[in-house]
Structure 1
Amino acid sequence: MTATTLSPALVAHLPTGLLVDGHWGPAADRSTFEVADPATGQGIFDVADATPADALRALDAAHAAAPAWRAVPPRERSELLRAVYARLVARADDIGALITAEAGKPLAEARAEVVYGAEFLRWFAEEAVRADGLVRRAPSGGNTQYVSRRPVGPSLLITPWNFPIAMATRKIAPALAAGCTVVVKPSELTPLTTLLVAEIVRSEAEERGLPTGIVNVVPTTHAADVTGPLFEDPRLRKVSFTGSTGVGRTLLAQASANVLRSSMELGGNAPFIVFADADLDAAVEGALIAKLRNSGQSCVAANRFLVHDSVARDFADRFARAVGEQVTAPGTQPGAQVGPLISEAAVEKVTGLVDDAVAQGAQVLTGGSRLDRPGHFFEPTVLTGVSADATIVTEEIFGPVAPVVRFGSDDEAYELANSTPYGLAAYAYTTSLARAQRAMEDIEAGMIGINRGLVSDASAPFGGVKASGLGREGGDVGIDEYQETVYVAL
């Protein structure tokens, strides 16, 4: 099945099979699954549905290619990543259309994701040649200490559906830069973009005479069955996962058997704090970005809007007007600003959270219900009069709904902000330097935006604290997740 909005050239050459050892092919049992367009609910492509045997073949390939890839000079690894970066940027329109087709986000947003995702390749192309070591005389004077880094080994990368290119490149790029080979298990909801990125890596590696088994991809609708045997195989040395905290806990338990290096970017419940002295125009502008990017389907999306009593009504009214003016439409429609949710289940979850909040006394300032059209659309929504213990405040919404909760003092704001097991991202708006400094110190989150509604940057460390995960992706520490530190006493 094909999507008529995609270019004929892309449709003709888009891989939909498994990539194992540099070759595309069907699943072992030749089974497939359908990828649907969330704006219509209609199928667009059929993709190979990997089996456990396919996953083990992919690990075979990653293990076999590991010694040769590890021996490739860092400069050559760097140049490969830089070439893939250039090809992605050159095809931003084409790849953006593919993201819109399978993930639903507006075309402008999808194209921006291509550029953002490509930045991880450029960044780690630069980091590949900067793996620092150490040579120094021991304090005792009796020997020399030599410290180096080496690739951790074959890695399993499990990516989510909401940013299909950025989540793939954020893991593939540092792994390859460090000298690791990988097996990628993309989300069954949005596997197509990952498959295309993998083909670009494969073709560039082949042209350069480099190992083609460095990136292997096994899309599947049976994730636990397919990845389970990999966790049991001692050849696998690393797992990186982005997704829910519940699944992350399960994977960490599995990883413990072989003591796998583990990176976990898990759930969030980001507070967006508007202090009494905030610039409300700037706060509303930032709130639109922090809440509505990808229709709120982001782990760093603002989930709770904590607003000081003195400005709560004014902020809520301004924010509701701005939200109500957003154009909610299929991503391919000119002027679309908010696209569909990923699935019917996502719409049902958001609907339930809003209905529950209203039943507990919340007022709907704008939106509040699903849209009566094909696809999985929910109106961008602002709720006020929401209690701090409402389910819509304590759970991750993952949709275009903004509950506004009032606070009376700065101490109460921090208490509310930190009253969650999660700590991925947070946002705070204030014109006071003292308040900004306290926010940086007292908010329990791995990433904090001060007077900014967007924190993601390939050159900065991405990750959370508490139940939001382990490790960091991006920045100068991102490559560390794929390296072992070795000390030799000379």
Structure 2
Amino acid sequence: MLGWRRAAASVLLLPRRAGWRPAAAMSSLLVGQPQYAWLRELGLQEDNPGVYNGRWGGGGQVVTTYCPANNEPIARVRQASLEDYEETVKKAKEAWQVWADIPAPKRGEVVRQIGDALRQKIKVLGSLVSLEMGKIYVEGVGEVQEYVDVCDYAVGLSRMIGGPVLPSESAPTTSLTSVAVTKIVAKVLEDNKIPGAVCSLICGGADIGTAMARDERMDLLSFTGSTEVGKQVALMVQERFGRSLLELGGNNAIIVFEDADLNLVIPSTLFAAVGTAGQRCTTARRLFLHENIHDEVVEKLVKAYAQVRIGDPWDSDTLYGPLHTKAAVKMFLDAVEQAKQQGGSVVYGGKVINRPGNYVEPTIVTGLAHNAPIVHTETFAPILYVLKFKEEEEVFAWNNEVKQGLSSSIFTRDLGRIFRWLGPKGSDCGIVNVNIPTSGAEIGGAFGGEKHTGGGRESGSDSWKLYMKRSTCTINYSKDLPLAQGIKFQ
């Protein structure tokens, strides 16, 4: 789960404060400036290859990554061309021949070494996540820690199933983190004399993604992203009868009954709605409050929101950083305006913060109908729609009426209600919580959702099943041929 505790005192220096100006001779890229020398520890340069298949390369378009806290350029990455893609797939198929002959426990040992290598770089990698994505430092470190924890979990699975589980969720706008992690993994593979193409990396645009979706050599394609793009991916993969694992959107709800412990509700809602500036797939976007406690909870929430420390992601006191891109800021403003037009009242936030970077105010909107179009639209931003309800049956139905079905949570002390919530007429989501937030999931729990969320389980106890082929094997050890349905040949 996301950590909201203070970061350790050894926080690495991240983007400079507003008003600071470099000397004329200094690089215009952050990676080339002395105070960001720690990026070199990860093997990052001003220009970085975005393809790895046993060797580094890339012949495609050059893209620049920016720090969302101040919109200054960090470094450049050369993406893959279609020729790079073809070469990488070929080498990956060749590497599979080697990997397939390695027993699962030995694969687990390699994964253990990967986890250890990441653990050694956890602070500097966490700083890179914060620099490139905009997460606060504690969350950046937590992101890497989750990768390490998944590696540890996979080591145990390697003794029970036929292969390890490796997380792969790199986004196209955080390519430097992808490059840095791949460099660490590649070193472990090299030390174990395993082909580097076992863990290939291709940074690319829509042309590369389309090629992957249509490539019959791709036995399984895992996609994390928007529902709209996920649908296109699923259709292209299905056209060739391939398999896809989709982890798409989530319009998650918290339901609070009048018997709930508000000492749990307020921090849980704040954590779920404001954490990562509302940019988690499990972020709470809808808050259903029983009509008898609606006003009291809203008042307490507004006070709690006012205490959220907004600032530089690298400051240990900061709890809330910037949105990832300028486009996300526009999406936030559009959603706030639509909410107003559809009858909502902004009781907190709703504006862009006047400072460098992509900062917006965490926002609370009340007064909307449960089925207002904007309420049914997932907006990847810190906007919480607060809605009233009267009866259990209606609010359970409202929880389920959106197209997505990722995470959900209720707050109550009624055991009967809890089991109805967990039962067939309760939540239709893949993650069904009680008295805890919608965000934050245990490593061992199957992570994924239903309906337009995609139905896949990309992490946890069930993820490995999709990465394996299922066969039913029957062996006849006798000299006779037993036939089905009592059929006999004379």
Superposed displacement of residue 110, structure 1: 1.1
Superposed displacement of residue 119, structure 1: 1.1
Superposed displacement of residue 482, structure 1: 0.6
Superposed displacement of residue 100, structure 1: 0.6
Amino acid at match of 2:55: H
1:20-419 correspondence runs (5 A): 20-25=52-57, 27-29=58-60, 31-131=61-161, 174=165, 186-220=170-204, 222-223=205-206, 225-419=207-401
Q: Contact (CA 8 Å) 2:51, 2:79: kept in 1 or not?
A: no
The CA RMSD measured in Å over matched residues stands at 1.9
Superposed displacement of residue 477, structure 1: 1.4
Give the percent of matched residue pairs that are identical in Structure 1 and Structure 2. 27
Q: Distance in 2 between matches of 1:374 and 1:175?
A: 37
Distance of aligned partners of 1:6 and 1:203 in 2 relative to their CA distance in 1, 3 Å threshold:
farther
Q: Does 1:425 align with 2:454?
A: no
Q: Deviations over 1:370-398 (max 9, x none)?
A: 10111111101112222223333111121
Amino acid at match of 2:354: D
Superposed displacement of residue 346, structure 1: 0.7
Distance of aligned partners of 1:185 and 1:436 in 2 relative to their CA distance in 1, 3 Å threshold:
closer
Distance of aligned partners of 1:361 and 1:97 in 2 relative to their CA distance in 1, 3 Å threshold:
same
Q: Distance in 2 between matches of 1:209 and 1:235?
A: 25
Q: TM-score, normalised by structure 1?
A: 0.86
Partner SS state of residue 197, structure 2 = coil
Superposed displacement of residue 175, structure 1: 5.3
Distance of aligned partners of 1:300 and 1:6 in 2 relative to their CA distance in 1, 3 Å threshold:
farther
Amino acid at match of 1:52: L
Distance of aligned partners of 1:95 and 1:88 in 2 relative to their CA distance in 1, 3 Å threshold:
same
The answer for the alignment partner of 1:474 in structure 2 is 459
Distance of aligned partners of 1:272 and 1:235 in 2 relative to their CA distance in 1, 3 Å threshold:
same
The answer for the alignment partner of 2:37 in structure 1 is 8
Q: Distance in 1 between matches of 2:254 and 2:62?
A: 42
Superposed displacement of residue 40, structure 1: 0.7
The answer for the alignment partner of 2:20 in structure 1 is none
Q: Distance in 2 between matches of 1:175 and 1:259?
A: 24
Which is strand-richer, 1 or 2? 1
Superposed displacement of residue 89, structure 1: 2.1
Q: Greater CA radius of gyration, 1 or 2?
A: 2
The one of the two structures with greater contact order (alpha-carbon pairs below 8 A, sep at least 6) is: 1
Unpaired runs of at least 5, structure 2: 1-28, 476-490
Q: Deviations over 1:30-87 (max 9, x none)?
A: x310000111111101011211221111111111101100111212210111111122
Q: Distance in 2 between matches of 1:301 and 1:185?
A: 17
The answer for the alignment partner of 1:443 in structure 2 is 427
Q: Distance in 2 between matches of 1:295 and 1:59?
A: 36
Distance of aligned partners of 1:7 and 1:457 in 2 relative to their CA distance in 1, 3 Å threshold:
farther
Partner SS state of residue 342, structure 1 = coil
Q: Deviations over 1:344-370 (max 9, x none)?
A: 111111111112222333222221111
Distance of aligned partners of 1:91 and 1:175 in 2 relative to their CA distance in 1, 3 Å threshold:
closer
Amino acid at match of 1:190: T
Q: Distance in 1 between matches of 2:452 and 2:246?
A: 10
Q: Distance in 2 between matches of 1:95 and 1:457?
A: 22
Amino acid at match of 1:480: K
Partner SS state of residue 394, structure 1 = coil
| Alignment: residue pair count | 440
Deviates more, 1:74-83 or 1:228-237: 228-237
Distance of aligned partners of 1:376 and 1:9 in 2 relative to their CA distance in 1, 3 Å threshold:
closer
Q: Contact (CA 8 Å) 1:7, 1:94: kept in 2 or not?
A: no
Superposed displacement of residue 5, structure 1: 8.8
Distance of aligned partners of 1:412 and 1:5 in 2 relative to their CA distance in 1, 3 Å threshold:
farther
Partner SS state of residue 346, structure 2 = strand
Amino acid at match of 2:315: Q
- After TM superposition, which residue ranges in structure 1, 4 or more long, deviate above 4 angstroms? 3-7
Superposed displacement of residue 304, structure 1: 0.5
Q: Distance in 1 between matches of 2:217 and 2:194?
A: 22
Q: Deviations over 1:286-343 (max 9, x none)?
A: 1111111211101111110011000111111111111121111120133111110111
Partner SS state of residue 209, structure 1 = coil
The answer for the alignment partner of 1:139 in structure 2 is none
Q: Contact (CA 8 Å) 1:6, 1:98: kept in 2 or not?
A: no
Q: Distance in 2 between matches of 1:60 and 1:191?
A: 22
Distance of aligned partners of 1:49 and 1:19 in 2 relative to their CA distance in 1, 3 Å threshold:
closer
Q: Contact (CA 8 Å) 1:32, 1:46: kept in 2 or not?
A: yes
Amino acid at match of 2:372: A
Distance of aligned partners of 1:368 and 1:9 in 2 relative to their CA distance in 1, 3 Å threshold:
closer
Q: Deviations over 1:171-219 (max 9, x none)?
A: xx6259xxxxxxx794221111122221111100111112221011111
Deviates more, 1:225-234 or 1:330-339: 225-234
Q: Contact (CA 8 Å) 1:99, 1:105: kept in 2 or not?
A: yes
Partner SS state of residue 489, structure 1 = coil
Distance of aligned partners of 1:298 and 1:306 in 2 relative to their CA distance in 1, 3 Å threshold:
same
Q: Distance in 2 between matches of 1:109 and 1:392?
A: 28
Amino acid at match of 1:28: G
Q: Distance in 2 between matches of 1:102 and 1:28?
A: 23
Superposed displacement of residue 20, structure 1: 3.0
Distance of aligned partners of 1:296 and 1:185 in 2 relative to their CA distance in 1, 3 Å threshold:
closer
Partner SS state of residue 111, structure 2 = helix
